[in-house]
Structure formats: C-alpha cells, structure tokens
Structure 1
Amino acid sequence: MADLLAGRPVLLLFAVLAIGTAVGAVRLRRVSLGPAAVLFTALAFSAADERLALPEVLGTFGLAVFAYAVGVTAGPSFFASLRTGLRPVSMVVATLLALGVLTWGIGRLLGLSAGSTAGLYAGALNNTPALAAAILRLDGSPDPTVAYSMSYVGGVVVMLAAATWALRSGDRHPTADDRARPTEVRNATILVERDNALTVAELSWTPHGRVLFSRYQDAAGEVRMAQGDTLLRPGDQVLAIGPDRALRHLTKQLGRRAATHLEAERTDVDYRRIVLSERRFYGRTVADLDLFARFGARATRVRRADQDVLATDDLVLQAGDRIRVAAPREQMRLVAAYLGDSEHGTADINPLGLALGLTAGLALGALPVPVPGLGSLELGQAAGPLVVGLLLGRTGRTGRLVWTLPHQAAETLTQIGLLVFLAYAGGRAGSAFVDALASPLGLQLVLAGLVVTTVHAAVLLLLGRAWLRQAGPRLAGVLSGSQTQPAILAHAQEQTHHDQRVALGYAMVYPVAMVVKILVAQLLTML
C-alpha cells in the first residue's frame, strides 16, 4: 500500500483528506479537531513511511487559494472595521505583537530553534498560514510543523474555555456593548393615525437606523408601491422593513401596529427572493439596479452568508446574493429575468478575476522588504494573496472586471485550499514529530503552547471587559477572531443561538489578526 501511495501523489492526497476529515468530524464534548485532523493524519502517514509526503507545489497551491479566498470575502468588513472598530483591532494587534515577544523569550529560555519558536507561535494561536510562512522561510524545515502540532490542541481547548467564560460572564453582567447589539431585519405593518406631512424618503431615517418602505394600502383599500415622495395619510397602512428598534420608533411616530399583515396581501403587489446571477451587476450598488424606474419594484433586503441585510441604495452587491424584491405582480417575472435568478451564479468562481488576483498576490508575496538588521522579509505565499484579496474584495470590480466571489464559492475554495495545505505540511514532519513525542522537547512545546495561549486569552478577556466594556457575545467573537479559529466561532454561535454580535466581533478582528500572525511568524524565523 505504501508503494502504491508513494508513486501516486494525487491518490495520496485524497486518502489523507478522506481519513483526516472523518477523524476531524468526531466530537468529544462538543469539541472536534476539524480541519486540523488532516494535519495529524498526514503526520501519521509520513511517520509510517517518509515517502508518503506530498509535492511542495500542492502545498503552495492550497495555501495561496485559501489566503486569497479569505481576503476577498473579508475585504469589505476588514476596512469597515478599521473605521468603526479601531480600539478592538488595535487591542488585538498589540496583543499579538506582545505574544510574539513572549514566544521568542520562551524559545530562548528553552533553547528552541528559530523554526520551533515560529511553529510554537503559530500553533498556540491556531494559525496555519503563519505556519506556512515559517516553513517557506526555512526552506521546508520540519521544526515549525512539529512545534505547531504539539501546541495546536492546547490552543483550541484554552480558547474554547475562555470564550465560554466570556459568554457566561456577559450574560450575568451586561455592559454598555449590549446597547449596540445588532438586530435582525424585520417587517412591520403600521396603521397611520397621525398626519405628519412627511414623505416616505424623510421617514426612512430614524435615530435607530434606516427603514425601507415596500408598499402601502390607502384608505380606499388600493395597494401600491411606496415612492420617495409618497405622503402617508391617516387611514393608510404601510409595510416598513428595518431593525426592530427603528420600527418601534417609526410606529410611535406614525400611529400603531396594524392588526393585518400587508405582506400577506399579494393580489396586486407580490414579493420573492431572486438570486443575483447577472454578471454586470456584481460589485454594483442596489441603486444601480434602477428597479423602481424600470419595473416599479423595490429591493428590501439582501440575504448573504445566512444573514439578511437591509437593501439600502449604497449596499454593494455580490454574486449569488439573494435579493428580496417587492414588485407589481405582473412585473415579477421580468424582474427575475433582469437579475438573472440562476443558482449557477452562486457557484461561479469567476476564473479570470481569481487567476489575476492570485497572480498579483503571489507576485506581491515574492517581493523582498528590507528589514534593518535582519535582512529582507517577504509577505510570502500566504500574506501576499491575503493582502491583495482584501484590497480587491473591497474594490469589488474594476470596469468590467469583477473581483468578488459568490459566498458559497469562496467558502468552497477556502476549505479546499486549507485542507490541501494541511495535508502537505503534515507530510513533511512525520519522523520529526515522532522523535519529539519521545523526547523532553515534546512536553516542553506542549507546556509552552499552553502558556502562550493562556496569556493570549487572559489579556483579551481583561482588556475586553475592563477597557472596551464589551458584552459576552461580542467578546467571544473577538476571542475567536484573534485566535483565527473557526471552531471557537462555531462554539460561540451555537451557545448564543447565532447572536449577530459574535460574528461581528469575529469579522472585525480576523483579517488583521491573520496578517499580523503571518508577519510575526516570519520575524521569529529571522531572530
């Protein structure tokens, strides 16, 4: 069997992926290894026979695809976090830099090699691209992978415990962050009882967020689409869409909640979700669709990555978005054809944009950056594509060229890229891993990893509560984003029934944490 697999790298790749993903799916007290099980499977294969290692080109391919897809997906939220979440982001950056210094000190104390120190940092903080950057800097040395493997599990367990504590503490002691809790987009049918003499456009802005108006029913019972200059008069009923607090404010301003639900009246005006698959609208805004002028229709919300967002005029659309549209019944078919409404668009990987983006990312990663006293530093095959992906994800499109990826396609590329790289990395360190297990070095790496992860969790918990005054769900999201660990995010979301604050905290700091860890890991290989 070993002879068969050694001569067929593609067969070896899928054998490792099959066994690794099966092991990773096993849960013990709601905790699983997840994708990291592929790394340990590859370690076991190569420990049994050193020939069972994948070619380097496969690892480079997987890493580049993974990093670029993460960047394109996170681009908009990354730059938004720099504007609105500067304090949490700066807290995470400072903590990760300090942990780099701590790890270097531990490495010097224990007499670790530069590769082992970098792998210890990557493993304790659960960051595979940082491991990749260290391996590439050291020309494939097994030291980073061994240290990563020894410290990885402790990094997951400690941070899971920290996230659990944050959630429980936040529930008992709400903080100021609770007042900023995001709310779901909802509908409300409002019976107008006051004559405010305000147009729909003027009523759209409330102290608690934007509200959109879909349709209204006049006192005579006729249902029409609401326009910006529509005046709502006593006796009218109007269907409003927005955050719950904004809808409550608007209801008090206009009258009271109606006993009927206007969205259920579909005789004249209908609504449905339409998949955006028309390529010319990728990267454009909702206003660019010009739905009302063309069809008398209006987009009210957009569903993306299992979350509904309000379809404001400035919202930038992505391939595969599911747009909820209200339109005159006879126009709905034309609106669907206009937007595409093809599920194929949700799986389109946009080959031209993907290839050009990866080319630019790998080229950027290969550029040497002089570091005084240390030589030159490269962003590498992880950070280069990640940085370019962030920029292009924020840009959306350049003329006719679309950079964004449908969410489903981006998630698929992310998973495939990560799994392929893990299978490659584990195959390079099997014998060294076995040697470490049988020596004092293994225990040293495990304990050192626990120290680094524990300090990471303690600092974020302390600063997050005392300085930023964040509620438990948001803080749990920041912990998982700073650790760049999807398992912790999934745990926090499950415990909070998918509280949006968890995902918001994660998305705010994840891209920055990813870049900082990759750069610090490279610096540690040079010290």
Structure 2
Amino acid sequence: MAVFAVITVGALLGMVRFGPVKLGAAGVLFVGLLVGALDKDIAPAVPAGVSALGLALYVYTVGLESGPAFFRELRSQLPVMAGAVVALALTAVVVGYVGHSGFGISGPFLAGGYAGIGTTTPGLAAAQEASADPAQPAVGYAIGYPLAVVITILFISAIAARRRWVARRDPDSGLPPVLVTRTVQVEHETAWGEVPGVADHRVLASEYRPEGGEVQVARGLGRLRPGDLIVLVGGEDDVRAATERLGSTAPVHLLDNRRTVDYRRVLLTNPVLAGHTIAELGLGERYGAAVSRVRRGDVDMLAHDDLVLQLDDRVRVVMPRERITEVSTYLGDTETKVSEVSAVSLGLGLTLGFLIAIPSVTFGSTTLALGTGAGPLVMGMILGWRRRTGPLVWTLPTRANLTLRQIGLLLFLAVVGLTSGYSFRQNAFSLFGLKLVAVLVIGAVVSYTLMVLIAKALGQSRERTMGLLSGYVGNPAITAYANSRVTDSRVNNGYSTLFALAILVKIVCIQLIVGL
C-alpha cells in the first residue's frame, strides 16, 4: 500500500511545473523520501526485491531502445564518446577529491551525489549495491538530482542563446524534423536519379502520373518529361530544391485522387517482419506498393530501402486501391498486438542480463561489477542492436517498451525513497548537507563545462551539443527543454549517442568513489 501510495502522490508531484521543467518520475523519489522520513521502522518493512525488479525492467528496456543508435553512431561519433568518458572520469576525480579530502565526506554519500548530478538511476543502484549502508547513496542522489536539472537547464539556455557557433564537422541538420508532401508539375526533362536529394535519401516520390496517363505508385522511375506530375516527400528545403529542378508546384494534388492509387498508415504488428528493412518487405514485388514514411513513436522518418523496421511502427504505404486489404493483412495492422510482449524474448533477455551482471573484479578494497544496474542495460543494448535472432524478436513494441520502463522506474524510485527517507532527514538538513551541496555544485559545473567544451572543440553544432549534454546528464526532461528551444533532429541524435554510454561509465566511476 505504501509503495503504490507513494507512486500515486509522487506522480502527481511530477506533473507540477517548476519553471521550464517538471520533475516527472523523480517526484516519486522525493515523496518516498518524505514518507520514509516519518519513521525509522518503515525502511526495514519494504521488500528490497521490488527495487531490483523495477530497476532491471527500466535499464533493459532503455538498452533495447538506445542500442541501435549507440552502435550506429559508434564510428562517426567515437571522438565525442571518448571525450564524454574523459569528462565523466575527471568529474569523478573532482567530486571524490574535493568531497573526501576537502570536506571529509565518505565515499557512499559522494557516489550517490555523483549519480545525482548525472541523474542516473542505475548509478544510484550501483552505489547502493557497493555500500554497506544503502541509504547513504540515496541521500547524495536526492541532493544532487535537483541541482543537476537546474544547472543543466541554465547551460542549455546559454548554448541556445549562442547564434554564432562554428560547427566544422556537423554542418548538416540531418533528417528533417518535419516532412512535407507536394505535387510537382515537371517542366524540365530530368532523370529521376539526378533530382537533388534523391541519391542521399532526402527526397522520394510516392505517386506519379505521366502526361495523359493514370496515377500510379512511383516505382522504378526513369526520365521525367514535361507534363508529368509527381508527388515528392521530404523536408521543406529538400522538396523546394527538387521542385525548382523539375518545374513548379502543380495546381492539383495527386493524393486527392484516390480512385486507382490509395495510401494509408498501416501498423506493423507482424513479428516475422520486425527487424527487416523496408526493401526486405518486398511490397513492390508482392503488391506493387511503396513505403513513403515510417512513424516511430513521435518521430516521422522518410522511408528508404535500408531503414530497419520494428514492431509498432506506423508505415505509410502507397498502393493500388484493390490491394489495401492484402497489404494490411501482410503487415499485421492489429491494434491489440501493439502492447503484447513476448515472454520468451523478455525473460531470456533479462536472464542473460542478470548472468553478465554477476562476475566481478576486485582492486584492493574496490570491487567492480556490472550489477543489476548495468548487466541488463548492456544486454538490452546488444539485443536491441541485433533486433532478432532467428524466430526471436528482441525489440518490444514502442508502447510496451515505454510502459514497462515507466513501471520499472516508478517501483525502483518508490522503494529507494521509502528505504532512505529517515537517513535523508538526519543528514540533508545539516552542515553536512550544505557541504555535500557545495561539492556537488562544483562537480556539476565542472562536468557540464567539460562536455560542452569537448563538443565545441570537436566541431559539433550548437544543436547537437545541446543533445549531447542532455544525453551526458541523462535526463529526458532536459532533452524536452532542449527541443523546446530549437527544432532540429540533431538534438535527439546527440542524446541517443551518449545516453547509454554515460550510464555505463558513471556506474564504473560510482563503484570507485564508494571505495574512498
């Protein structure tokens, strides 16, 4: 009863806006601390296994989602990743040295504080596993977390205000944040492959009508001649450039004529197709159809042959009108399956994650292990990257993934708050608490400054730097704030690049700090 009451009230607190941000799930932690502070006998009564289960669900689902982006960006973003590792290690040194040598604060409190300024819940779990008193890291985490959110927001605001920002190695805005569809009347004879944006998958055609002919699905286009009509899909700038090359915007829109060719979004729920590319679907050969867009979560992506699909994707298909039922049946299009979870793949993935969490290495008084905070995360990243193994589909439908993640995080934070509240009451509101705040403010400012300087020195754009800092800190609320300041896909790409890596590095540093 106490756990779910804390979740209820904490979730309500998380909805309250404090300036530009909301606490979100962290509201559960603070309500848990408040309730746990009421009586010292509350902590022993809370089942610790609930916390471990919640954490495992959270980090495993995070790994499944972030794994593909991490391995995809590994080569191109390796210098940035290496810089982030260095910055996190130096931050650990600053927090450990200043806190232990300068203020006499013990390792578990500092480790929790380091996790707090990194807003890493798995890091808190690693600190608790490595500490004799699990309540001490929770005190540091609860103090560091709000400091991290406030200070990072200030950093993001400062970066957003910088209009002149040299980006030697990141000049492109990547994928367009908004896709547009436009019917173009061809006025200049042009080979389709020579149209700007076609070769690099920034513009595609969905429907085509040759002069005097019928509307058809745009497949295998050759030379376009004056009088032809073609529907272009892509970002506003790319479509405009392609339009100027071909001719001008047509007075009619081909998509309004749905007599012979139709289009609709079809939900991909056929598990056999998950993990395959659009080309491997064979829609053109089977049904004379083509994919123009893929919507995953809240992101609309331009389709291309090499785009890998996953369960719960909404695929926009252009097809002959009489093949609609066949295409929908082939892709699945069953709403009841979007929240289904394969117990076999989920159970096996978590089992493997717990297995790799067991081995440990001891250096003097410090023991390093992946633990329940990193084992399932690493395994989730690998399996999410692989997507499927034979008949086993490792990825989860987006809605199911987010639901399990949220449940796991809420359970973990509620238990941590309840079991640590009394210790928080004894330590946070004292001279000791002020010392810890001072150490963590210094650590946070040093950490975030290092990350921004490294990104700028490596030629990253202002927008990607905002995303990199968000992923480096690892807080979705910060990412949302960054997206509210600029509209650019590089923000989310930067977040995905560092989010999982930063968690792993923080877990290692935290275990070293505990040994102080």
Q: What TM-score comes out, normalization by structure 1 length?
A: 0.92
| 2:277 alignment partner, one of 266, 278, 285 | 285
Aligned counterparts of 1:71 and 1:304: Cα–Cα separation in 2: 17
Does residue 141 (structure 1) correspond to residue 134 (structure 2)? The answer is yes
Cα deviation code 1:378-424 (max 9, x no counterpart): 10101100000000000000001000011111111111111111111
Superposition map of 1:105-144 within 5 A: 105-109=97-101, 110-144=103-137
Residue in 1 aligned with 2:439? 448
Deviates more, 1:315-324 or 1:208-217: 208-217
Residue in 2 aligned with 1:7? none
Give the counterpart letter for 2:123 in structure 1: A
Q: Offset of 1:175 from its aligned partner?
A: 4.6
Aligned counterparts of 2:315 and 2:439: Cα–Cα separation in 1: 49
Give the counterpart letter for 2:140 in structure 1: A
Cα deviation code 1:347-378 (max 9, x no counterpart): 1222221111111101111122x255455421
Deviates more, 1:305-314 or 1:321-330: 305-314
Superposition map of 1:211-226 within 5 A: 211-226=203-218
Aligned counterparts of 2:237 and 2:485: Cα–Cα separation in 1: 24
Q: Offset of 1:143 from its aligned partner?
A: 1.1
Aligned counterparts of 1:259 and 1:189: Cα–Cα separation in 2: 8
CA contact (8 A) 1:67 1:385 kept: yes
Percent of aligned pairs with the same amino acid: 39
Which sections of structure 2, spanning at least 5 residues, go unmatched? none
Superposition map of 1:488-503 within 5 A: 488-496=478-486, 498-503=487-492
CA contact (8 A) 1:302 1:324 kept: yes
| 1:186 alignment partner, one of 180, 191, 204 | 180
Aligned counterparts of 1:52 and 1:350: Cα–Cα separation in 2: 36
Tell me the secondary structure at the aligned position of residue 284 of structure 1.
coil
| 2:463 alignment partner, one of 456, 468, 473 | 473
Cα deviation code 1:44-102 (max 9, x no counterpart): 22211233232110000000000000000111111112122223222212111111111
Superposition map of 1:20-31 within 5 A: 20-31=10-21
Residue in 2 aligned with 1:522? 511
Superposition map of 1:99-110 within 5 A: 99-109=91-101, 110=103
Residue in 2 aligned with 1:424? 415
Does residue 257 (structure 1) correspond to residue 249 (structure 2)? The answer is yes
Aligned counterparts of 1:51 and 1:31: Cα–Cα separation in 2: 34
Aligned counterparts of 2:428 and 2:384: Cα–Cα separation in 1: 42
Does residue 37 (structure 1) correspond to residue 40 (structure 2)? The answer is no
Residue in 2 aligned with 1:403? 394
* CA RMSD, Structure 1 to Structure 2 (Å): 2.0
Residue in 2 aligned with 1:343? 335
CA contact (8 A) 1:42 1:423 kept: yes
Q: Offset of 1:307 from its aligned partner?
A: 0.9
Q: Offset of 1:523 from its aligned partner?
A: 1.8
Aligned counterparts of 2:165 and 2:171: Cα–Cα separation in 1: 13
Aligned counterparts of 1:123 and 1:309: Cα–Cα separation in 2: 34
Tell me the secondary structure at the aligned position of residue 241 of structure 1.
strand
Give the counterpart letter for 1:38 in structure 2: V
- Give the 3 Å change call, closer, same or farther, for CA 224–33 of structure 1 in structure 2: closer
CA contact (8 A) 1:159 1:457 kept: yes
Aligned counterparts of 1:357 and 1:343: Cα–Cα separation in 2: 25
Aligned counterparts of 2:337 and 2:196: Cα–Cα separation in 1: 32
Q: Offset of 1:329 from its aligned partner?
A: 1.0
Aligned counterparts of 1:443 and 1:35: Cα–Cα separation in 2: 25
Tell me the secondary structure at the aligned position of residue 320 of structure 1.
coil
Q: Offset of 1:207 from its aligned partner?
A: 6.2
Cα deviation code 1:229-255 (max 9, x no counterpart): 544222111112233444344334433
Tell me the secondary structure at the aligned position of residue 259 of structure 1.
coil
Give the counterpart letter for 1:137 in structure 2: A
CA contact (8 A) 2:99 2:436 kept: no
CA contact (8 A) 1:208 1:245 kept: no
Residue in 1 aligned with 2:375? 384
Which sections of structure 1, spanning at least 5 residues, go unmatched? 1-10
Q: Offset of 1:494 from its aligned partner?
A: 2.2
